[in-house]
Amino acid sequence: MKKNKKEVTIYDLAKELNYSPSTISRALNNHKSISKKTTKEIQKVAKKMGYRPNTIAASLRSNKTKTIGIMIARINRPFISSLISGAENTARKAGYNILISQSNDKYENEVSNAKALYDSRIGGLIVSLAMETKNLDHFKLFIDQNIPIVFVDRVPLEFNSYRVIIDNYSAGFRATQHLIDQGCKRIAHFAGAQHLNIYNLRKKGYLDALKENGLEVDEELIMDLETMSFEEGKEATDQLLNMDNPPDGIFSSNDTAAVSAILCAKEKGIKIPEELAIIGFNDDPISSIVEPALSTISHPAMKMGEISAQKILEHSVKKLDSNISEITMLDTEVIVRNSSNRQK
């Protein structure tokens, strides 16, 4: 096997330049105690000799890394990949790396991923919880070491940490109100797993909007979908449309199931939005492509990622205590498209 080219260290630079390693180190870090001239000279030679800092060694010394860990359920979802993209851009600008891990919505994976990220001595953690997660003990390790945690989107109810969320209650309320404004009287709801408060709050918003408008809540119209998948959306729609008194509107907690509802209803010859108005949640790319285009709630996914990373960067700079509790709530927007627009 070929022998690796020996890497240049500050010792090599010290020998070359007749300075001590400490002077080299300081110059490379732009320490103010070193003269401008010396600093310049050292940096020039460092570049010429192809010196690359060993961040591992620096991390060992300082016991922290310029790395942010991200734990999410799955990367290949439009909302999540945009969120990561935002976080990466922000972190990168500040010289931070991004370490990612997927739980695939399994609690067990989340726990072991947390350990793996902890062992990598990340400087901060961004988390969107796995569907299964109810216990949060695996995050205590980080708190003990004063490593900031930012929960985003799927956040726990109680845990001292940063939280970056949208107002799911309000979004659910406004989505439902929108359908009511279009004349819907019997509005169904595709509700996700209720132990996740993103879904729980959307449902609460739905219920309150009905009540506030004097509409009856019919439990039969509330469909509990475990994973909010395309298939579950189809099943639920089938069931709803086979009722003696079918709904005239559906508020789905995600776009996947909502699109599925559109396709299913169309197949049955039901007119959208005249007979059935539909609104989803997330503003995934498919929502503007399906026909009729799906009304939905738009999330600022990329921005949520940026803010999450920003929180960690600030925390590190200010050396704050990780036992903090701060909530950042972002605005959502009701996007009205043809699946619910009866005013045309």
Measured distance CA(165)–CA(155) in Å, rounded? 8
CB atoms within 10 A of CB 277: 27
Asked if 150 touches its own copies (CB under 8 A), the answer is: no
Query: What DSSP string describes 207-218?
Result: HHHHHHTTPPP-
Shortest reach from residue 55's CB to DNA, in Å: 8
Q: At its nearest, how many Å lie between its own copies and the CB of residue 208?
A: 32
CB count, 10 Å around CB of 61?
Answer: 8
| 84 binds its own copies, rule: CB under 8 A | yes
Q: Which of 30, 40, 53, 144 binds DNA (CB under 7 A)?
A: 53
Least distance CB 119 / its own copies (angstroms) = 5
- The dihedral over CA atoms of 335, 338, 339, 343, expressed in degrees to the nearest 10, equals 100
Binding partner selected for residue 229 from its own copies, DNA, none, CB under the kind-specific 5 to 8 Å limit: none
Q: CB–CB of 61/45 below 8 Å?
A: no
Q: Which amino acid is at 240?
A: L
At 68 the three-state DSSP class reads strand
CA distance 249 to 186: 6
1 binds its own copies (CB under 8 A): yes
Q: Among 2, 3, 47, 61, which residue sits at the site for DNA (rule: CB under 7 A)?
A: 61
Could you tell me the two tokens for 293? 């285009």
Contact status: 97 vs its own copies (CB under 8 A) = yes
* Minimum CB distance to DNA, residue 141 (Å): 14
193/197 Cα distance (integer angstroms): 9
Q: Is 317 in the site for its own copies (CB under 8 A)?
A: no
**Residue 7 or 326 with smaller CB distance to DNA:** 7
Residue 308 three-state SS: helix
Of the candidates 44, 48, 60, 220, which one interacts with DNA according to CB under 7 A? Answer: 60
Residue placing its CB nearer to its own copies in the complex, 35 or 146? 146
Which is closer to DNA, CB of 23 or CB of 295? 23
Within 12-41, which residues bind DNA (CB under 7 A)? 18-23, 25-26, 28-29, 32-35, 38
For the CB of residue 84, give the shortest distance to its own copies in the complex, in Å: 5
Buried b / exposed e along 202-226 (16+ C-beta atoms within 10 A) = bbebbbbbbeeeeeeeeeebebebe
The interface partner of residue 115, options being its own copies, DNA, none and the CB cut-off 5 to 8 Å by kind, is: its own copies
**Cα–Cα distance measured from residue 286 to residue 336, given in angstroms and rounded to the nearest whole number:** 15
Query: Contacts with its own copies in 44-83 (CB under 8 A)?
Result: 52-57, 59-60, 65, 67, 74-78, 80-82
Q: What number of chain residues touch DNA (CB under 7 A)?
A: 28
CA–CA separation, 307 vs 311, rounded Å? 6
Query: Does 63 sit near DNA (CB under 7 A)?
Result: yes
Out of 15, 49, 62, 75, the only residue in the binding site for DNA (CB under 7 A) is: 62
Q: How many residues does the chain have?
A: 344
Which positions lie near DNA, rule CB under 7 A?
7, 9-11, 18-23, 25-26, 28-29, 32-35, 38, 51, 53-54, 57-58, 60-63
